[in-house]
Amino acid sequence: MIPIYSSSACQRILRLLAIWALSVCGLTAHAAITCSIAPPSAVNFAYVNSTTTLQQGSVSATCTRTLATDASSTTLNLAANAGTNNTGQTSYVVLGTSKVSYSLYSDSACSNQWLKSNYGNYIGVPLSMPTVNVPVTSTFNYWGCMSSQSLSAYTAGLYTDTVGLQLLINGSTMATASIAVSLYTPAACSISNGPSNLTFAYNAFSSSAVFAGTSFKANCSNNLPYTMALSPVSGVVAGLQYTLGLSLAAAGTASTTGPSTVSTTGNATGSATHYINGSMVAKQAGQTGTPVPQSHTLTLTY
């Protein structure tokens, strides 16, 4: 028996076949261009304190046209987010709770910010694919910029961030990748603002001890342990015996003369004031003539 279909049934079958054919054509057209991204250059900031630092990077994208009926030229766009440690549109490299701001730009003058939290800024390059199934490679350049800032208040170590990338054609994402961003801040410690000469105002046979002091600043990375040592801690000048010590408090009383060695850590301000305090005991006769200054050595170890 040969089945007989009504006209309405045939129309439904034809409509279903037409919908299926259109669906297949749509999938084929979407896959007409394929793209991939090579691993991007990392941005490793070699930062010099209180300067502006520039680092260039690049990434290559390879695309292939697989259908002769597809357009042979288009624009390839590369978008970047603001990194995993962003606050709004500001990007940071991070170590623990410490963070240092930076950004990536589409130009070497660092005037066109590329990073945006919603992938809203593009670096675009024209893409020409004249031959079917022949890969074409395009290169995108970008520049990392870290503005002038003092890092002495930051914890020493490796700061990192990761920037997400999207490769797009006509608003469609073709491939994704990420850029590794890093900054290494070395442990740093220095002495500034002194210490100046320490002078005792002592009268012969003084009825009470006389104290004197001077100060200096230690500029050390935040949380960096360091030790200060003073040597020697006693001496004789103009026949008068004296002792010296280190302290975190100002000079003025015997209780602040302090030890010969002090250990502490750098703070968030990047600078700490320390004191060298001295004491001359009472009832010393001393000697006449021009006193010969005595030298002492302050050693900072970190």
pLDDT tens, position by position, 115-156: 998 898 999 999 999 999 999 999 999 999 998 887 767 888
Q: How many CB atoms lie within 10 A of CB 39?
A: 11
**How far is the CA of 68 from the CAs of 31, 71, 178, in angstroms?**
12, 8, 32
The average confidence (pLDDT) of the chain is 84
Share in percent of the chain as helix, strand, coil (round to 5): 10, 50, 45
User: In angstroms, rounded to a whole number, what is the distance separating the alpha carbons of residues 104 and 163?
Assistant: 9
| Model pTM score | 0.67
Q: Residue 205 corresponds to which amino acid?
A: F
Chain centroid to Cα 231, Å, comes to 38
pLDDT band at residue 84, thresholds of 50, 70 and 90? very high
Q: How many CB atoms lie within 10 A of CB 281?
A: 14
User: What pLDDT is attached to residue 10?
Assistant: 37
User: What pLDDT is attached to residue 186?
Assistant: 81
The distance in angstroms from the start CA to the end CA of the chain is 99
pLDDT digits (tens, 9 = 90+) for 7-27: 444 344 334 333 333 333 333
pLDDT band at residue 170, thresholds of 50, 70 and 90? very high
Which domains, from first to last, does the chain contain? 36-185 (2.60.40), 189-301 (2.60.40.1090)
User: In angstroms, rounded to a whole number, what is the distance separating the alpha carbons of residues 228 and 300?
Assistant: 5
Q: Is the pLDDT of residue 51 over 70?
A: yes
Chain centroid to Cα 109, Å, comes to 20
Q: What is the number of residues in the chain?
A: 302
Beta bridge pairs of residue 218? 191, 272
User: In angstroms, rounded to a whole number, what is the distance separating the alpha carbons of residues 227 and 263?
Assistant: 4
Residue 203 has phi, psi (to 5 degrees) of -100, 140
Question: In terms of Cα–Cα distance, which of 163, 294, 192 is closest to 240?
Answer: 294
* Contact by Cβ (8 Å): 113, 123: no
- Helix ranges restricted to H, the chain: 7-30
* Contact by Cβ (8 Å): 233, 294: no
